[in-house]
Amino acid sequence: MSNQDLPRRKFIATGLALGASVLASAETLAQTAPAAPQPAPAAGPGRLTMHAIDVWNGLPASGIRVDLSRLEGDSYRLVQSFNANKGGRSDKPLFEGEDFKRGSYEILLHVEEHYAKLGAQMPNPSFLTSVPIRFSIADPGQRYHIAILLTPWSYSYYRGS
């Protein structure tokens, strides 16, 4: 062993001891620190809205028939049906305030019917007929917006803002 190995070993041992001490201090601090504050709920009443966009035509899916259902027991119960307005949205929130409850929901878009009304040349039978968008609401005090992108062959959706 050379004379240079001893100071290096001492340095490594000191570093390990210091690291263990810092780690123990951090664990003690984490145990005694107050819990991080939870984010405040969104302002205003909870509500559910939707927006359907026909990306095949590059326009809102105006006029598309939409069925909204709520899961009750083992099956979905129809709550309302409507045709989307010129902007591809409902005229008012789908649910709002006390009517908006925690649970599972389905938005059913009648895609085949929509493209038939537009006069689109589609295969017979159409690839997509009706598209079910199923989702769950954990906190009905929040605002939920379901944004839906669709074509005659595909769809995607996400929780928007």
**CATH code of the domain in which 154 resides:** 2.60.40.180
Instruction: Name residue 78's amino acid.
Output: L
Residue 37 lies in a domain: no
- Give the pLDDT of residue 128: 87
Which structural domain range is residue 88 located in? 47-160
Tally of structural domains, the chain: 1
pLDDT at 15 over 60: no
Residue 128 lies in a domain: yes
- Residues found in the chain: 161
Which long-range contacts does 68-73 make (Cβ < 8 Å, 24+ apart)? 68/94, 68/105, 68/106, 68/107, 68/108, 69/105, 69/106, 69/108, 70/101, 70/103, 70/104, 70/105, 70/106, 71/103, 71/104, 71/105, 71/106
Residue 142 lies in a domain: yes
Residue 52 lies in a domain: yes
User: Average of pLDDT values for 8-12?
Assistant: 56
- Give the pLDDT of residue 129: 92
Question: pTM of the entire structure?
Answer: 0.70
Residue 147 lies in a domain: yes
User: Average of pLDDT values for 148-154?
Assistant: 94
User: Average of pLDDT values for 30-37?
Assistant: 57
pLDDT at 73 over 90: yes
Contact 52, 88 (CB under 8 A): yes
